[in-house]
């Protein structure tokens, strides 16, 4: 009897150790009966319909219908210019609920925060009160979304960027529940590292607001190159998906299979900036648009569209199925 309860206690200890190594909240989404999954990715969008936000939304609705999408991913900068003022900010309806009205877009949205969101009341965007106003809305800081064949790792990238902390006079950032910064970042990287290590999904995609590689206005984010990228490389991440640059980009890596995909064309764009980059540039479009992802266990396809819903760029990759025996 004593040894039995001892075993139970040992088991409980092991279980608690396992769960403490993956602090990131884990969500689940089912795939289609045929084993496929499709979704749209949009970033940098909330401008009350202006700057072609509504046109992009209309085309997302049309393509979303065609692809029978399962959900939508937002790469952040959800509400301009300065996030939400509170859970009662009408911008939530004016920039989200009343803009993405198409039937195919009445699916779950999974969102991260962008730097502009941090200029407002961050806790409001994370609040379940918004889910009561529009049940599609779900924004968390960092989390994992498993959909059988794929694990999405959503990463809160804004706290990584030095100049948001070093120039507090230029903008006020809402660092509640983030500061002290070093503890927050090191815990996040540790949790992400163990979650990626534990992931058994065929595909591993990472979503964040900031660029890792970029040929546009924001260029590479050096803090992510040094601290986040090594973890993604170590665990065989397939795609890094971001916004922040108000354009569409596809960059392939010279030193890993990671593809860098920017979908930040949700509203205001046309910045007219192009910087060359040592990695392989596959596609760059300086205007509005969005991206789709279609997946099976053995194939992933990325498509970029402009504000008319025309296909601008297509890319796909296959994976061989290895027997687990």
> How far apart are CB 281 and ligand NAG at their closest, in Å?
21
Q: Does 49 bind ligand NAG (CB under 6 A)?
A: no
Q: Which is nearer to ligand NAG, 49 or 287 (CB)?
A: 287
Q: Active site residue: 218, 235, 250, 313, which one?
A: 218
Interatomic CA distance for residues 197 and 189, integer angstroms? 12
Residues 134-173: x where in contact with ligand NAG by CB under 6 A, - otherwise, as a string: ----------------------------------------
Q: Is 209 annotated as a binding residue?
A: yes
Q: Is 116 annotated as a binding residue?
A: no
Query: Across the chain, which distance is largest between two alpha carbons, in Å?
Result: 74
Q: Does 178 bind ligand NAG (CB under 6 A)?
A: no
Residues 263-282: x where in contact with ligand NAG by CB under 6 A, - otherwise, as a string: -------x------------
Q: Which is nearer to ligand NAG, 57 or 295 (CB)?
A: 57
Contact 154, 207 (CB under 8 A): yes
Interatomic CA distance for residues 288 and 266, integer angstroms? 6
Q: Which residues contact 118 (CB under 8 A, 6 or more apart)?
A: 83, 158, 164, 173, 174, 175
Q: Which is nearer to ligand NAG, 58 or 142 (CB)?
A: 58
3-state helix, strand, coil in the chain (%, to 5): 30, 25, 45
Q: Is 220 annotated as a binding residue?
A: no
> How far apart are CB 248 and ligand NAG at their closest, in Å?
12
Chain-centroid distance, C-alpha 231:
17
Total Cβ atoms within 10 A of residue 315? 15
Question: What's the burial of 219, exposed, middle or buried (CB within 10 Å: 0-12/13-18/19+)?
Answer: middle
3-state class of 151 per DSSP?
Answer: strand
Q: Which is nearer to ligand NAG, 205 or 305 (CB)?
A: 305
Interatomic CA distance for residues 271 and 13, integer angstroms? 54
Question: What's the burial of 272, exposed, middle or buried (CB within 10 Å: 0-12/13-18/19+)?
Answer: exposed
Interatomic CA distance for residues 38 and 64, integer angstroms? 9
Chain positions 205 to 224 lying near ligand NAG, rule: CB under 6 A, are none
> How far apart are CB 263 and ligand NAG at their closest, in Å?
16
* Chosen residue from 42, 46, 52, 144 binding ligand NAG by CB under 6 A: 52
Of all residues in this chain, which one has the CB nearest to ligand NAG in the complex? Answer: 52
Q: Does 287 bind ligand NAG (CB under 6 A)?
A: yes
Interatomic CA distance for residues 38 and 249, integer angstroms? 20
Q: Does 311 bind ligand NAG (CB under 6 A)?
A: no
Q: Does 51 bind ligand NAG (CB under 6 A)?
A: yes
Interatomic CA distance for residues 291 and 184, integer angstroms? 31
218 as an active site residue: the answer is yes
Q: Which is nearer to ligand NAG, 180 or 272 (CB)?
A: 272
> How far apart are CB 267 and ligand NAG at their closest, in Å?
8
Residues in the interface with ligand NAG (CB under 6 A) total 6
Q: Is 80 annotated as a binding residue?
A: yes
Strand 71-74 versus strand 108-111 pairing type: parallel
Positions annotated as catalytic residues are: 218
Q: Which residues are annotated as a binding site?
A: 44, 77, 80, 115, 209, 244, 246
Q: Which residues are annotated as a binding site for Fe cation?
A: 44, 77, 80, 115, 209, 244, 246
The residues that touch ligand NAG, with contacts defined as CB under 6 A, are 51-52, 270, 287-288, 307
């Amino acid at each position: 009897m004593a040894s039995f309860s001892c075993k139970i206690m040992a088991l409980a200890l092991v279980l608690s150790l396992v769960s403490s190594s993956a602090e990131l909240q884990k969500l689940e989404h089912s795939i289609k009966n045929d084993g496929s999954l499709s979704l749209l990715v949009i970033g940098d969008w909330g401008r009350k319909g202006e700057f072609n936000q509504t046109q992009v939304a209309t085309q997302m609705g049309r393509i979303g219908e065609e692809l029978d999408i399962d959900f939508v991913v937002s790469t952040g900068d959800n509400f301009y210019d300065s996030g939400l003022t509170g859970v009662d900010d009408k911008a939530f309806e004016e920039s989200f609920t009343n803009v993405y009205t198409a039937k195919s877009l009445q699916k779950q949205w999974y969102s991260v925060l962008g730097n502009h969101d941090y200029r407002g009341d961050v806790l409001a965007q994370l609040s379940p009160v918004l889910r009561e106003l529009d049940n599609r809305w779900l924004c968390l800081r960092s989390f994992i979304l498993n959909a059988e064949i794929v694990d999405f790792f959503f990463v809160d990238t804004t706290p990584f960027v030095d100049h948001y902390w070093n120039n507090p006079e230029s903008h006020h950032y809402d660092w509640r529940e983030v500061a002290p910064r070093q503890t927050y970042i090191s815990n996040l990287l540790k949790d992400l590292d163990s979650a990626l290590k534990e992931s058994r999904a065929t595909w591993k995609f990472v979503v964040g607001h900031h660029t890792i590689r970029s040929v546009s206005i924001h260029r590479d984010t050096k803090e992510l190159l040094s601290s986040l990228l090594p973890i993604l490389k170590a665990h065989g991440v397939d795609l890094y998906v971001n916004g922040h640059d108000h354009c569409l980009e596809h960059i392939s890596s010279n030193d890993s299979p990671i593809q860098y995909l920017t979908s930040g064309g949700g509203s205001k764009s046309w910045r007219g900036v192009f910087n060359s980059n040592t990695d392989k540039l596959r596609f760059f479009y300086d205007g509005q648009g969005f991206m789709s992802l279609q997946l099976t266990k053995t194939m992933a396809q990325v498509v970029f569209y402009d504000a008319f819903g025309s296909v601008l760029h297509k890319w796909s990759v296959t994976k061989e199925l290895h027997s687990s025996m």
